[in-house]
Amino acid sequence: MSELLKCVEIEPAGDATATVIWLHGLGASGNDFEPIVPELQLPAGLDVRFVFPHAPQIPVTVNGGMVMPAWYDILAMDIDRKVDEAGVLASADAVDALIEREIQRGILAERIVIAGFSQGGAVAYQAALRYPQQLAGLLTLSTYMAMPVTPSTANASLPVLVCHGSQDPMVPEVLGRRAVDTLTSLGYQPEYLTYPMEHMVCLEQIRDIGQWLSKVLSD
């Protein structure tokens, strides 16, 4: 992935002083989470640019090889066992490139949050925890840790918010809890929030995310 991923970008009212890079789920697009930005109700003056990259179009094994937007191939339905590790790492590298672009645009690394839903969240874990400069935070939604990660020293105490639906049939909540346990074993203190929903987001969750973003991006 030598060229930058195509992205939907939402600029704040003032000059951006922080960025959230937010990865969508399998088969979706960067437009997927665009409508939630106003619902986050971020405080006036917190000038956050939202970057929603589009995943590349690749064949997905569990869908009969159908080509669709995906951050990596899904090789088997038991998503916590057989993982396309090369694909996960390639997408994490693509996120690194987006972080670098934000730094070139004048955003400090410590003012950048990495977020992801479902498959995008699995990539977000890799991209954020291993990134060599301190970031502002990691937000993962309805997702799992697809493969082991070695955190960088810079992000050894990164703020992490993990959200999951208690009735999720696609990514069972046990996988979200397992990721939290892994983070805790690595020395993190993740916040974990659950909601009575399936594989989706809800308004209560969006408001909670808005409050969390306000906290980790406050000066």
Nearest by Cα to 25 from 107, 113, 133, 143: 143
Q: How far apart are CA 77 and CA 58, in angstroms?
A: 17
Choosing from 93, 199, 208, 214, which is the catalytic residue?
Answer: 199
Active site residue 24: no
Choosing from 168, 181, 218, 219, which is the catalytic residue?
Answer: 168
Residues in the chain: 219
Long-range contacts of 38-42 (CB under 8 A, 24+ apart): 39/203, 39/206, 39/207, 39/210, 40/206, 40/207, 40/209, 40/210, 40/213, 41/207, 41/210, 42/210, 42/213, 42/214
Handedness of CA 70, 72, 75, 77 (dihedral sign): negative
Counting beta carbons within 10 angstroms of the beta carbon of residue 200, is it exposed (0 to 12), middle (13 to 18) or buried (19 or more)?
A: middle
Choosing from 32, 84, 91, 118, which is the catalytic residue?
Answer: 118
**What would the two tokens of residue 185 be?**
């074993």
Active site residue 54: no
Active site residue 214: no
Helices (H) and strands (E) in the chain, counts: 4, 9
CB within 8 A of 12, min separation 6: which ones? Answer: 46, 47, 48, 49
Q: Which positions are annotated as active-site residues?
A: 118, 168, 199
